[in-house]
């Protein structure tokens, strides 16, 4: 039996606190609950997911490189606050040939002005924002169709 295509789902800083961190902005779902739903959805779509979270920029960069090295079909990334500050993460997304879909639970453009610039989005193939946890499901659907 063939191995199903692999999709990396990378989550950046503070996303380990989902469910308790500003639920009025990010919702009440925990990252583990989101991961469980994505795993179920992946099975139904005939793909597999590798779901990771780190508060460290270098880990996210290493994982982007790894996604390309192992031939992942796509990467879904929620870079959190690094979206607005990390030229290094932008460069890592731009450097790989693996398609990257950026996800944000909230819509940064409706929030503080410092969130209006999204460096990662400039390199990503697609951006889904402001859809809450549904954004992850939409991104996985899009990634599975690649």
Active centre residues (catalytic) = 26, 104
Element holding 52 (H helix, E strand): strand 48-53
> What's the token pair of residue 46?
């005939």
Q: Is 39 annotated as a binding residue?
A: no
Q: Is 115 annotated as a binding residue?
A: yes
> What's the token pair of residue 105?
């639970």
Q: Is 73 annotated as a binding residue?
A: no
Residues 6+ apart with CB under 8 A from 17: none
Task: Using alpha carbons, select from 33, 28, 64, 70 the residue that is nearest to residue 48.
Answer: 70
Q: Is 105 annotated as a binding residue?
A: yes
Which residues sit in the known binding site for substrate? 78, 84, 91, 105-106, 115
């Amino acid at each position: 039996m063939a191995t199903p295509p692999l999709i990396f789902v990378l989550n950046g800083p503070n996303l380990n606190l989902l469910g308790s961190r500003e639920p009025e902005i990010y919702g009440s779902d925990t990252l583990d609950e989101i991961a469980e739903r994505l795993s179920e959805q992946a099975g139904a779509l005939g793909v597999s997911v590798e779901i990771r979270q780190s508060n460290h920029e270098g880990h996210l960069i290493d994982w982007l490189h790894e996604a390309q090295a192992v031939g992942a079909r796509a990467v879904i990334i929620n870079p959190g606050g690094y979206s607005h500050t990390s030229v290094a993460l932008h460069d890592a997304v731009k450097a790989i040939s693996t398609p990257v879909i950026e996800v944000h639970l909230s819509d940064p453009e409706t929030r503080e002005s410092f969130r209006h610039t999204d460096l990662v989005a400039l390199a990503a193939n697609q951006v889904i924002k402001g859809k809450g946890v549904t954004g992850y499901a939409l991104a996985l659907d899009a990634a599975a169709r690649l």
